[in-house]
Structure 1
Amino acid sequence: MANKNWYKLTFQIESDSEEIIIWKLNELGIFSFSFEYLIKTDNKKEVNIWLPIEEWDESSISDFEQIISKLLNINDSKNQFFDWSIIKEEDWLTSWKKYWGPELIGNHFLILPCWINSDDKFKDKKIIKIDPGAAFGTGSHPSTYLCLEKMENISFSKKRVLDIGSGSGILSIAARLLGAKEVYAVDNDYLAINSTNSNFQLNFGNSKSLKTYLGSFNEIIFKYQFKKFDFVLCNILAEVIKEMIPNIYHCLRNDAEVVFSGILNSQKDEIIKILIQNNLKLLDISSKKDWTCISAQKGS
Structure 2
Amino acid sequence: MTEWKEFKVHINGEATEAVSNILIELGSAGVSVADRKDFLSLPEYGFDTLWALDEKSFPADGVVIKGYFYGDAASKATKMALIEKIEMLKSFDLDIEKYEVTTEDVVEEEWANAWKKYYHPVPITRYMTIVPQWEDYIKRHDAEKIIYLDPGLAFGTGTHPTTKLCLQALENNLRGGETVLDVGTGSGVLTIASALLGASKIQAFDLDDVAVKSAYDNIKLNNLKTEISVKPNDLLKDIDVKVDMIVANILAEIILLLIPDAFKNLKPGGKFLSSGIIIEKKEEVLASLKNTGFEIQQINQMGDWIAILAIKPEED
Sort the TM-score into its range (normalised by shorter chain). 0.7 to 0.9
Given the alignment of the two structures, is residue 287 of structure 1 paired with residue 285 of structure 2, yes or no? no
The equivalent of 2:190 in structure 1 is: 171
For residues 60 and 202 of structure 2, the distance between their equivalents in structure 1, rounded to whole angstroms, comes to 40
TM-score under structure 1 normalisation? Answer: 0.82
The equivalent of 1:7 in structure 2 is: 5
SS in 2 for 1:192: helix
Contact 2:18 / 2:251 at 8 angstroms: preserved in 1?
no
Deviation at 1:220, TM superposition (A): 4.2
Partner of residue 113 from structure 1, selected from 132, 154, 162: 132
Contact 1:232 / 1:252 at 8 angstroms: preserved in 2?
yes
Contact 1:256 / 1:297 at 8 angstroms: preserved in 2?
yes
For residues 275 and 4 of structure 1, the distance between their equivalents in structure 2, rounded to whole angstroms, comes to 50
The equivalent of 1:78 in structure 2 is: none
Deviation at 1:9, TM superposition (A): 3.8
Please list the CA deviations of residues 164-220 of structure 1 after superposition, one character each: whole Å capped at 9, or x if unmatched: 1111111111111111111111111222222222222211256x6111221212434
Contact 2:125 / 2:168 at 8 angstroms: preserved in 1?
yes
Contact 1:19 / 1:290 at 8 angstroms: preserved in 2?
no
For residues 43 and 199 of structure 1, the distance between their equivalents in structure 2, rounded to whole angstroms, comes to 29
Which runs of structure 2 are paired with 1:21-60 in the superposition (5 Å)? 21-23=15-17, 25-26=19-20, 28-30=22-24, 32-35=31-34, 39=55, 44=60, 47=64, 49-53=66-70, 54-60=72-78
Deviation at 1:156, TM superposition (A): 3.4
Deviation at 1:262, TM superposition (A): 0.8
Cα 1:103–1:72 shift into 2, 3 Å:
farther
Given the alignment of the two structures, is residue 192 of structure 1 paired with residue 211 of structure 2, yes or no? yes
Which runs of structure 2 are paired with 1:206-285 in the superposition (5 Å)? 209-221=227-239, 226-285=240-299
Q: Which consecutive aligned stretches of 4+ in structure 1 deviate over 6 angstroms post-superposition?
A: 40-43
Structure with greater contact order relative to length (CA < 8 Å, sep ≥ 6): 2
Contact 1:5 / 1:52 at 8 angstroms: preserved in 2?
no
The equivalent of 1:156 in structure 2 is: 175
Deviation at 1:42, TM superposition (A): 8.7
Cα 1:136–1:93 shift into 2, 3 Å:
farther
The equivalent of 1:94 in structure 2 is: 113
> What amino acid is aligned across from residue 8 of structure 1 in structure 2?
E
> What amino acid is aligned across from residue 28 of structure 1 in structure 2?
I
Query: What percent identity do the matched residue pairs reach?
Result: 29
Gaps of 5+ in 1: 75-80
Partner of residue 146 from structure 2, selected from 127, 140, 162: 127
| Deviation larger for 170-179 or 211-220 | 211-220
For residues 233 and 173 of structure 2, the distance between their equivalents in structure 1, rounded to whole angstroms, comes to 28
SS in 1 for 2:198: coil
Deviation at 1:136, TM superposition (A): 1.8
Cα 1:276–1:5 shift into 2, 3 Å:
farther
Structural RMSD (CA)? 3.1
Contact 2:20 / 2:65 at 8 angstroms: preserved in 1?
no
> What amino acid is aligned across from residue 131 of structure 1 in structure 2?
D
TM-score under structure 2 normalisation? Answer: 0.78
SS in 1 for 2:237: helix
Please list the CA deviations of residues 199-248 of structure 1 after superposition, one character each: whole Å capped at 9, or x if unmatched: 22211256x61112212124341xxxx32100111111111111111111
The equivalent of 2:46 in structure 1 is: none
Gaps of 5+ in 2: 25-29, 40-53, 88-94
Partner of residue 161 from structure 2, selected from 142, 148, 172: 142
